Homo-oligomer: A and B are copies of this chain.
Amino acid sequence: MSGYFVIPSELKVKSPIPGSEFRVAWGEKIMLSFVRMPPGGVVPPHNHPHEQGGICLEGSMEFTIGGETRTLHQDEGWMIPGGVTHSVRALENGAYAMDIFYPHREEYK
């Protein structure tokens, strides 16, 4: 990325999870990750040492964090401590979300 502004449509698309589109931008310490998931798209249970915040930007998603499941809609978010297992399933209209990672997910660059 260049400059101070983060325009997702200008970011390179990656698909570390088939069917989903990831676009990332980062500063010195934090990383923003824009994720578009198709209806029924799944991020399987996983964990990582990075702290992860985030917000649902469009659509809705069933989010499970540390064994607790909740359906999230636009403008609802999450804060996942490092090491806590989490998974996501996009509901019938798909979902678009932004995650924040500290530190960077180096494998997303």
Question: Which residues does A use to contact B, with CB under 8 Å?
Answer: 1, 3-8, 25-30, 32, 34, 51, 53, 55, 57, 63, 65-66, 68, 70, 72, 75-82, 84, 86, 96, 98, 100, 102
Q: Which of B27, B65, B66, B82 contacts A79 (CB 8 A)?
A: B27
Given contact pairs A5-B68, A27-B80, a sample of 5 additional A-B residue pairs in the complex whose CB atoms are under 8 Å apart? A6-B79, A7-B77, A8-B77, A32-B79, A102-B102
Among A34, A57, A63, A75, chain B packs the most CB atoms within 10 A around the CB of A75
**Contact A27/B51 with A57-B75, A102-B102 known, Cβ cut-off 8 Å:** yes
Chain B residues within an 8 Å CB radius of A72: 5
Main secondary structure of the interface of A (DSSP, over half): strand
A100–B55 CA distance with the chains assembled, in angstroms: 11
**Contact A78/B6 with A55-B55, A100-B53, A102-B102 known, Cβ cut-off 8 Å:** yes
